[in-house]
Structure 1
Amino acid sequence: MSHDKSPEQLVLDKLVRMANQIATFFMSQPENVRAEGVATHINKFWEPRMRRQFFEHLDRGGAGLMPLVIEASVLIRRPEAKAGSGVGVGEDAKGAPGGKGPGAGESLSEPSIPEGAA
């Protein structure tokens, strides 16, 4: 029985494998840029859903992840971070002064509809 795993576990296995492949590549780079390289790659190319699943796995212990991936995780943006955790949240995540935007709780993916205009 080779397909005993849930679809969620299969996706997670793939994310772990991908993260480890990225780390393996960056192991050939100078030590002082490895973790930043892994984090930059994941921040640029992994969609928020993938990063969310990555952090859920990491928060449960991160089984199977290479030490370099775990080291880089502090530099990877959490897509729906709790206040004050992760990179790019808190003071870094505020919108323009006096303006609206993601820092004010607006989503960039939804149109702005004035109240009462529905």
Structure 2
Amino acid sequence: MKIPSFFKTPRNQKFNIAPRYYDPVKEEIEQRTSRIKKELMLENGEDVSDENFYNSRIVGSFRHGRSKTKSTAGLTQAIIIMLLVGGGAGYLYFGNLALYIFLLVSSVLLYLKVKHII
């Protein structure tokens, strides 16, 4: 018997997996199309090796993703460390005034970071 309560207790998670099946007709069609493509490439005088095909796809994928990324984590970490050290040293020398300046500067930097200016 369950004890009544105001809080909802989580239920057990159920394991649900969709069964996979093997389709021999589809597999045969894929093998035929790949064989025909290789034969057509041989007639045109192109290189048929599978290594070149996969290698070119992999290399192209990595080059594409790496060129678009821009990392500013180092700059952001340096700014945060300088603010914390400066805020701590300022508090020791100037007291509460340094905390107010620290809060002002950190809020301005947070705003600039949200607007993607920094």
TM-score for both structures, normalised by structure 1 = 0.31
Normalized per residue, which structure has more helix? Answer: 2
* Rg larger in structure: 2
**TM-score, structure 2 as length reference:** 0.31
